Amino acid sequence: MSTLQNDLLLKTLRGEQTSRPPVWMMRQAGRYLPEYIRIREKYSFFERCQTPELACEITLQPVDIVGVDAAILFSDILVVPQAMGLEVQLIEHKGPVLPDPIKSNADFARIRVPDVDETLGYVFDAIRLIKKELNGRVPLIGFAGAPWTLLCYMVQGKGSKTFDEAKAFCYTQPETAHQLLQMITDTTIAYLRQQIHAGADTVQLFDSWGGLLSPDDFAVWSLPYISQIVAAVKDEAPVIVFAKGAWHSLEAMAATGAQGLGIDWCISASMARQFAGDKVTLQGNFDPAKLFAPIPVIEAETRKMLRAFGPGRYIANLGHGILPQVPVDHAKAFVNTVKEFAW
């Protein structure tokens, strides 16, 4: 395997000094690039995920077109519930639908911890192909959903602003809920390890709905499972934990030993650093909607963000995924402002 020509991201995750911060954008693969939309017109979502050549092409697009410092695998967090035995559909303009969600013990009995090589081998094939095509230009980020966020979809059966049915399941059937979280955790550990063995240089855990829980409930329903995953993976490759909205638990998340912590735009750089301590790399936190601002505003606000985080242990990113309607030159302005910056 060739060594990396651009290892800003990995150096930053290891806490080494660099001349500028690395930059990538959550959900950079897919969504807003016209080159992606053309592929979307020809193949279904899971065809795109399950065909290594397509996943590879989509993964490389933001590297080639926007010039980010890292590639993120094109896939979805919901391939794990799929591998565990649930049907998952992605319906355009509606988002994910799981037609037979887990509501009872009988539903739960249908769920298994799968052999990841048998059920998710296409992901590892895609990673091997992507690494070959990247040819060491930038590192590759693998990923998975955090157990709490996956439980939300597996129980609610669709997207939701509150995930009230998922919470009701936890509060009425806590033992089953914890068993389910443990099964997701075991699957995710095997899945991320195999992503790393196939070539992922670092992995990110997305707890997109962590912020729906109170701090006490986050400590019960999310953090223990994130901790298990970090402990099992962090010595094989650096782990970035992004629990959107769960700024109250940055200190506890840093204590898991994760090398990176993602933050959204609802916390300032100085508060995040104060909570997380100085031994972890922070990643974020530009408001994705601010990419709709005029380019000079994007440039000024991006510089302001970089100065606020200060040198070292910082990865420039958005505070959540890039929005589908963002003009490509606005995304490029964000990325280029970071690349032209020097501490």
7, 69, 76, 207: the active-site residue: 76
C-alpha R_g of the chain: 19
Residue 2: DSSP 8-state: P
- Contacts (CB under 6 A) with ligand CP3, residues 173-212: 206, 208
Q: Which residue has the tokens 């031994």?
A: 279
Q: Which of 22, 96, 139, 199 binds ligand CP3 (CB under 6 A)?
A: 96
Q: Is 103 in the site for ligand CP3 (CB under 6 A)?
A: no
E strand or H helix at 60, and its extent?
helix 52-65
Please give the span between the terminal C-alpha atoms of the chain, in angstroms, as a whole number.
Answer: 31
By CB under 6 A, is residue 156 in contact with ligand CP3?
A: no
Closer by beta carbon to ligand CP3, 99 or else 159: 159
**284: part of which helix (H) or strand (E)?**
strand 281-286
Provide the pairing of β-strand 95-97 with 239-243: unpaired
Give the angle subtended at the CA of 96 by the CAs of 186 and 23, to the nearest 5°.
Answer: 75
Given 7, 20, 36, 153, which residue is catalytic?
153
Q: In angstroms, what is the minimal distance from the CB of 267 to ligand CP3?
A: 17
From 160, 321, 328, 332, residue interacting with ligand CP3 (rule: CB under 6 A)? 321
Structure tokens at 33: 């690039």
32: annotated active-site residue? no
Check if the beta carbon of residue 148 is closer than 8 Å to that of residue 73.
no
Decide: is 285 part of the binding site for ligand CP3 (CB under 6 A): no
83 binds ligand CP3 (CB under 6 A): no
- Residues in the chain, how many? 343
| List 76, 167, 196, 246, residue binding ligand CP3 (CB under 6 A) | 76
In the complex with ligand CP3, the residue whose CB is nearer, 173 or 208, is: 208
Q: Phi and psi (nearest 5°) for 74?
A: -80, 115
Shorter beta-carbon distance to ligand CP3: residue 173 or 284: 284
Pick between residue 54 and residue 308 the one whose CB is nearest to ligand CP3.
Answer: 54
Helix (H, G, I), strand (E, B) or coil at 27: coil
Query: Hey, which residues are catalytic here?
Result: 27, 31, 40, 76, 153
Residues that bind ligand CP3 (CB under 6 A): 27-31, 40, 45, 72, 74-78, 90, 95-96, 143, 159, 206, 208, 321
